[in-house]
Each structure stands twice: as structure tokens, then as C-alpha cells.
Amino acid sequence: MTGISGKVVAIAGASSGIGEATAVHLAERGAKLVLGARRSDLLDVLVEQITRGGGEAVAVTTDVRRRADLEELVATAQRRFGRLDVLFSNAGSMAVSAFDELRTDDWELMVDVNIKGVLNGIAAALPVFRAQGFGQFVHTASTAAYKVVPQQSVYAATKTAVKVLTEGLRQEAGPNLRVTLVSPGFTNTEGVGKGGSAETAAALIAQRDQIAMPPDAIARAVAFAIEQPDGVDVGEIVVRPTAQS
């Protein structure tokens, strides 16, 4: 199936920022959405907004650290819409800090959400995609996977892991599945520095407010990867604000 209209897209991390913008963009272009995140109140508002606009969407409370939650996200797509065309694993934590602060709980959180969350998505969707004979994984990494900067090492390591496992998955996917990595640069979302140390977060937020691009820049990149004809696999997209070095 070429294009976006009619495709069933599940988004893990859909309640704000890039995931929310992508849900809105894809719904406007005729996709059917299955929206996952922990904040179900925000998901319900988004479902209402999409439905009011004539689109189709359903919310599933999802914590990507729980394998069963990803299985339920995928199963909901199958129950409600009969199949799953795309799993967009976008949930992420940017709880950044300097090593000296020893914010070990944040390190663990980023590993659990950013790496294990993506793996849980693969475990849930891969057997379904194999059985269907089609399907596409889209994973959110970051420009941090391409350039390490101070205070972001653990975050950068998790996003590098996402980049590596996505490329490995692409190589194993075979001729019927598609695997895409989307790496945003500074994007204007609430997630920048969220949960990180106050000092690091403040510096990042100041930079975000100066140079960040709107999240629909990433939504359009995701849409580009999804709308390609069968047999065309967009492997990697990096999108930065022009002002980002």
C-alpha cells in the first residue's frame, strides 16, 4: 500500500511533542491512529481532536518499559483496524545531567525508556509484521546519536543504541518489512531537559527557545518515510534546525 491514507499507525509516545504532532499530521492525511503513552488524559484529548476533525484514533495507556503494554498497543491496532502498518517507537526521556551529579536513577530511566522501550516495541510488532507479510518500524533517535556533547553522554549512548539496533533490524528485516530511523535535532517540545538536573535542563531550554524547530518538522519526515511505495525503504533521516551546529 502506497501513501498514508488508510494506513494503521501505532505511536508509542504520542501524548506530547513530536509524537503528538505526528499523530495530528498523519490523521490529517488519512491514517488511522493507535496512540500510546502514560498520560491517558492527554491521549483522550488528542483522540477527541482527531475524531472531531473527521479522523480515526484510539488511545491505549502505555508505559514502554512494560512489554505487555506494547503488546496491547499492537493488539489494539489489530482488533480495532484489522492490522498494523507502522509502529512509531518515539517515547523517550531526555533526563540529562553531568556524570559528576551521579543521577543514576535518570541513567537507568533513559536506558529503560529509550532502549528497552524500543526493544519492547520490536518484540510486540515483529511477529505481527511477519505474519502479515508487511509492516514498518519507525524509531526516534536524535542528533545526539551522531555527535556527543557534555552532559548528554548517557542520553547520547541510548540514542546511539537505538541507531545501531535499528540498522541491525533493517538488515534482518528482509524484503517485506521496512525500518526507518528518524533523528531530530533541537525540537521545540516540553521534553527538552525534562527530568534532568536543573542546571543542565535550564541551559538546554534556553538553547531550545533560541534555535529549536517546531515538532511538525519531524512529523513531515516520518510521513515521508511512511508514504513511500512498497519496496522503498527510507533508512535514515536527520532533521536539524539550520542554526544547530
Ligand X SMILES: NC(=O)c1ccc[n+]([C@@H]2O[C@H](COP(=O)([O-])OP(=O)(O)OC[C@H]3O[C@@H](n4cnc5c(N)ncnc54)[C@H](OP(=O)(O)O)[C@@H]3O)[C@@H](O)[C@H]2O)c1
d(CA 240, CA 82): 36
Size of the site for ligand X (CB under 6 A): 32
Which residues within the stretch 158-187 sit at the binding site for ligand X (CB under 6 A)? 184, 186-187
Contact 191, 149 (CB under 8 A): no
Compute the least distance from the CB of residue 196 to ligand X, in Å: 12
Which residues within the stretch 99-158 sit at the binding site for ligand X (CB under 6 A)? 113, 140, 142
Binder among 3, 28, 38, 116 for ligand X (CB under 6 A): 38
Please state the length of the chain. Answer: 245
Burial track 114-128 (b if 16+ CB lie within 10 A, e otherwise): bbbbbbbbbebbbeb
Contact 17, 190 (CB under 8 A): yes
Compute the least distance from the CB of residue 78 to ligand X, in Å: 20
d(CA 165, CA 118): 9
d(CA 66, CA 116): 9
Which residues within the stretch 49-108 sit at the binding site for ligand X (CB under 6 A)? 62-65, 90-94
Compute the least distance from the CB of residue 85 to ligand X, in Å: 20
Q: In a 3-state reduction of DSSP, which class is residue 112?
A: helix
Instruction: Determine whether 155 is an active site residue.
Output: yes
Of 54 and 92, the one with the shorter C-beta distance to ligand X is 92
Of 31 and 113, the one with the shorter C-beta distance to ligand X is 113
Q: Which three cell numbers stand for residue 11?
A: 505511536
Compute the least distance from the CB of residue 94 to ligand X, in Å: 5
Which residues within the stretch 204-223 sit at the binding site for ligand X (CB under 6 A)? 215
Binder among 7, 9, 10, 15 for ligand X (CB under 6 A): 15
Q: In a 3-state reduction of DSSP, which class is residue 155?
A: helix
Contact 86, 136 (CB under 8 A): yes
Among 10-18, 49-57, 168-176, 228-236, which window interacts with ligand X (CB under 6 A)?
A: 10-18
Element (H, E) at 56: strand 56-61
Compute the least distance from the CB of residue 91 to ligand X, in Å: 3
d(CA 235, CA 221): 12
Residue 71 CB contacts under 8 Å (≥ 6 apart), including other chains: 124
Of 59 and 84, the one with the shorter C-beta distance to ligand X is 59
Of 132 and 153, the one with the shorter C-beta distance to ligand X is 153
Of 31 and 110, the one with the shorter C-beta distance to ligand X is 110
Active-site residue (options: 107, 129, 137, 155)? 155
Footprint of ligand X (CB under 6 A): 12-19, 37-39, 62-65, 90-94, 113, 140, 142, 184, 186-187, 189-192, 194, 215
Active site residues: 155
